[in-house]
Structure 1
Amino acid sequence: MSLIGTEIKPFKATAFKAGKFIDVSEASVKGKWSVFFFYPADFTFVCPTELEDLADNQAEFDKLGVEVYGVSTDTHFSHKAWHDTSKAIGKIKYALIGDPTAKLSRNFDVYIEEAGLADRGTFVVDPDGKIQILEITAGGVGRNAAELIRKIKAAQYVAAHPGEVCPAKWEEGRKTLAPSLDLVGAI
């Protein structure tokens, strides 16, 4: 069953953000756009390149009103240690959620039972707490923050403009489509 359009399940977790430990729950994300960015583990190889890419694009996420949450099955203590010792991870201003019980990873259906780790899963959640975009990639395939931002802009546009849709490669300011009978077979 697809998670698209479903409301995120209840959770409570502790995250490391801006030098502090903070509590995060499903209530924390209501009312704003959010990204849950699951990754396998701290102190690894592809993961820091992805998290740094998100950090390098923080201003764009802020401009779009999007809260970013990095999530792994490590603890919030591990996230702090990684933040304090890695130049790439030290750039991060968004929350890194500890999910050692894998509740959040299971809620989003990205938990790899035999490994005790999360898949590379990206979920865009709207202000109502509903999943609008999801992407899961193989462990060796890193993600791209610029493409994620493009998809978020499209999701926000569609949410704000009922009856319009964004075609392939849509970029902000470009033409959208208004599905209708006269477009069938004309594209």
Structure 2
Amino acid sequence: MNYLTELLAFYRWLEVGRLGPLLQSFWHLLMFFNNKAAVRSEDGRWYWPVVFKVPNSEVCRFLGLTSRFQVNAQRKHLIRHGRIDYTPHVSQHAGDYRMKPFDTGLCETEISVMDTGQKRLVWTQGVTRDAHPAAPFINGVNSKPCYPYGSIPEALPASNGFNLLPQLTEAEKAAIASLYPEDEVACFNAMWAARERKQKEKR
């Protein structure tokens, strides 16, 4: 799952979805926790887990709510709008959240988590009109140091600047956009794939 792709699609959807400010904040918060729960496979690649947990206390703290009943009411709105699924757990344990991605090319796959060997379902890029192959949590073709959440292990030197892929020319962008006139997600993925190819060609 690509964070930027989902954000862009979310705001496009808001033009007709009409979520209030609190529900928008709730969706953003869940995206943050889903991203924060990223798991690393045995081949070293990072992925978004399909299912993740967020305690009601954390939702209250971030959104300024005062009880789990308020959290439950807001969560039901997001479910009704088709943006998430939720499976409650017994007792006071945190339930399981599941985002409903806008990118219809995403599919679920099972990986073995590094170090533990635990099996987890994660999101990966399946087929989006031939736009882009598997897309892990972090861009794998960029040779610069890159770490989740911007944190850098103490033993390693700091990387200067962002890990940017080569830009496309306006002609290249126009050519790709013409292939996906009705699918912004597929267009974004195709442009990203083209930039990754440019990066590989520079090596």
Do they superpose with TM above 0.5?
A: no
Report which of the two structures shows the higher radius of gyration computed on alpha carbons. Answer: 2
- Normalised by the shorter chain, which TM-score bucket? under 0.3
| TM-score with structure 1 setting the length | 0.26
Report 1 or 2 for greater relative contact order, CA contacts < 8 Å, sequence distance ≥ 6.
1
> Which structure carries more helix by proportion?
2
| TM-score with structure 2 setting the length | 0.24
